Structure 1
């Protein structure tokens, strides 16, 4: 498979693919091929056990423990499953280090429960399919929107859905706890998700820079 096809499938640059292939080869993967011709894994793709420094293990376990605390049920389970898979690749000594790296992660509040099925929301994002939602603002006024869901943004006490709002013809951020009714439309906006998300992030960064200038 060529680097161009891999880059398109993974939504990254060809340079990133070349760098990752070099990293896999350095880790022991047998990959034949070169730039312009394509690449082939020629034997069992199982790589040697991963090795991490003690501080890297603490960073991994802390991050996954935090996701377990603040994520919805599916995300929390995924964090647990990921930790089990990581532990399974480690030598016994590093397994012990990872299991005792973080003693406790605790938040002194209970996150609000999303009013939308987060599994449906993620599937719509991954499949790049439009959703029809009902949404209640701070004054409890309800509107109906057709949106292109782009990404989830996790904040200290809230989770925001970043989306393109067809009704407003602009980017919008929606509190997942204020979404009141939803359905999958089956309308595809592929392959626009990545481009829209980059534009949204650029819009947010420009707004933040303008706010900083205004406050000087």
Structure 2
């Protein structure tokens, strides 16, 4: 893991976990050894973060000068926390954890009164238990393929359970209450297609199609077509 990513994960753990937090717990949260953790804490301190405590006692982040104070209205706080909490119900484990980390980071930048509002919001996200079938494909791979613009070789079963092998250029993911859809440009069909993610049996990375994603999305929006494939 790159050092900036590792340090950001450590700062997120400081904001999210009850203080003081032991070095062992921080090491587990960030996926590093204790020796590396102590080096990372020293790096953060050298960069200006005020971290009280020591090995064997526990640590407390008392100030993070890298984060400027933020100010939101009560309804803006409610909207942000409601949107992030919804990831627990529609997202996979990685996406849900990213929502929790983002919430912790937002709360850490708020004045005390607003931070309390964020931790005790009035609105809650709820929906019935997920009716979607289990997902076999790696969601991290699908997201990475969209972000980094590389093709995917997929094995897919359509709504009639007919199998096919496709190479697609993945363009985006749509999270709904009862469906998770991948939008892609199908090289086999030479056209846009939407795929039910639970029906993707397997996926493997292919070649780069950069920089065509933005142009393809714009063309798709102009066509206004968004229908499940098969």
* TM-score with structure 1 setting the length: 0.71
Match of 1:165 among 174, 186, 210: 186
Q: Deviations over 1:36-88 (max 9, x none)?
A: xxxxxxxxx94630100000000000000111221011110000000000000
Alpha carbons 1:161, 1:174 under 8 Å: kept: yes
Q: Does 1:74 align with 2:88?
A: no
1:1-216 equivalences under 5 Å are 46=66, 48-102=68-122, 104-112=124-132, 113-185=134-206, 187-204=207-224
Q: Could you say what secondary structure the match of 2:205 adopts?
A: strand
The question of whether the paired residues in 1 share the 8 Å contact of 2:89 and 2:130 is answered with no
Deviations 1:102-156 (A, max 9, x none): 4532211214232210001111111100110011011111000000000001222
Stretches of structure 1 that go unaligned for 5 or more consecutive residues are 1-44, 209-216
Decide whether the 8 Å contact of 2:171 with 2:217 is kept in 1. Answer: yes
Give, in whole Å, the separation in 1 of the partners of 2:179 and 2:79. 23
Could you say if the C-alpha distance between residues 115 and 102 of structure 1 is closer, same or farther in structure 2, counting changes exceeding 3 Å?
farther
The Cα offsets for residues 171-210 of structure 1, whole Å up to 9 and x where unpaired, read as 000000000111112x1100001111121122226x89xx
RMSD (Å), alpha carbons: 1.8
Runs of 4 or more, structure 1, over 4 Å off, are none
Give the TM-score of the pair, scaled to structure 2. 0.67
Number of matched residues? 162
CA distance in 1, matches of 2:87, 2:93: 10
Does structure 2 retain, via aligned residues, the 8 Å contact 1:133–1:182? yes
Structure 1 CA distance for aligned equivalents of residues 131 and 117 of structure 2: 30
Write the distance in 2 (CA, Å) between the matches of 1:131 and 1:103.
39
